[in-house]
Amino acid sequence: QQQVRQSPQSLTVWEGETAILNCSYENSAFDYFPWYQQFPGEGPALLISILSVSNKKEDGRFTIFFNKREKKLSLHIADSQPGDSATYFCAASGPGGNNKLTFGQGTVLSVIP
Amino acid sequence: EAAVTQSPRSKVAVTGGKVTLSCHQTNNHDYMYWYRQDTGHGLRLIHYSYVADSTEKGDIPDGYKASRPSQENFSLILELASLSQTAVYFCASTGEIQGTEVFFGKGTRLTVV
């Protein structure tokens, strides 16, 4: 059972456009949602995160929009750059300790110059 | 800077052989994790540990064992490697507080032939 789902699987945008990556989850107990960025041959690295008490989180060109009622969130990458080309993972964790992350299957983003 | 070091970075193993993947962190973190990454599946949790000399099963523990001899070190053991265990394996660590950033190593590419 896939508790965290991402769409699309792959996305191609032109340089300067806004890329929108979507994520949904099933477990209502999830309350922490980090997005990880992964380049080929590297491990995932934290990009930006949000807690379920918030509906928006911004960090430079990166913004998370969160809808708790619909169990959906999205990552917006404004003014996309070729260097943003990577795989993006939505993840989730809940209270109760252990800090275990449940990952989506990822979205491969390609930014064309 | 937080550091998680995995060794080896790549390995070819024979079906039925024993494989040990090692992980060392210098973050003074209590929690350590082993994930496996397959195309189309994101990262899936195999085993984790929140204290030395204790390990817990994750979502896909079958065919794997784990060992946490010290706070800094966490190993993943494949007693009888199988073709289906060909994947990229990531070790990660994080602190005790929920929502703390999870730091990943660069991964070990394991090929079972």
B112's CB contacts (< 8 A; 6+ apart) are: B12, B13, B14, B15, B19, B81, B82, B83, B84, B85, B86
Preferred mutation among A31, A49, A99, A105 to probe B, highest tally of B CBs within 10 A:
A99
- Region of poorest pLDDT, from A14-23, A62-71, B39-48, B77-86: B39-48
The residue-averaged pLDDT of A75-79 equals 98
Q: Name which of A103, A87, A104, A105 is nearest A41 in CA terms.
A: A87
Cβ proximity of A100 and A29 under 8 Å: no
pLDDT higher than 80, residue A98: no
Whether residue B107 and residue A104 make contact (CB cut-off 8 A), yes or no, is no
What confidence category does residue B99 fall into, taking pLDDT thresholds of 50, 70 and 90?
Answer: confident
Mean pLDDT value across chain B: 94
| B40 has a chain A CB within 8 A of its CB | yes
pLDDT tens digit string along B20-55? 999 999 999 999 999 999 977 789 999 999 999 999
| B106 has a chain A CB within 8 A of its CB | yes
Q: Name which of B35, B72, B34, B22 is nearest B52 in CA terms.
A: B72
| A51 has a chain B CB within 8 A of its CB | yes
Q: Which pLDDT does position A1 carry in this prediction?
A: 59
